[in-house]
Structure 1
Amino acid sequence: MDKPQMNGHVEGLKSRLHQFLETLDTIEPETADLQEIDRLISMVDELEEQVEKIKSDKKQ
Structure 2
Amino acid sequence: MDKAQNNGHVEGLKTRLHQFLETLDTIEPETADLQEIDQLISLLDDLEEQMEKIKLDK
TM range (shorter): over 0.9
How high is the sequence identity, in percent, across the aligned residues?
84
Q: Residue 14 of structure 1 corresponds to which residue in structure 2?
A: 14
TM-score, length of structure 2 as denominator length: 0.98
Q: Residue 37 of structure 1 corresponds to which residue in structure 2?
A: 37
CA distance in 2, matches of 1:48, 1:25: 20
CA displacement, residues 1-59 of structure 1 (integer Å, 9 cap, x when unaligned): 0001000100010011000000000000000000100110010001000000000011x
Where structure 1 has 5 or more consecutive residues not aligned to the other structure, the ranges are none
CA distance in 1, matches of 2:46, 2:16: 9
TM-score, length of structure 1 as denominator length: 0.95
Count, aligned residues? 58
Q: Residue 54 of structure 1 corresponds to which residue in structure 2?
A: 54
Backbone CA RMSD of aligned residues:
0.4
Q: Hey, which bits of structure 1, 4+ residues long, moved more than 4 A? A: none
Where structure 2 has 5 or more consecutive residues not aligned to the other structure, the ranges are none
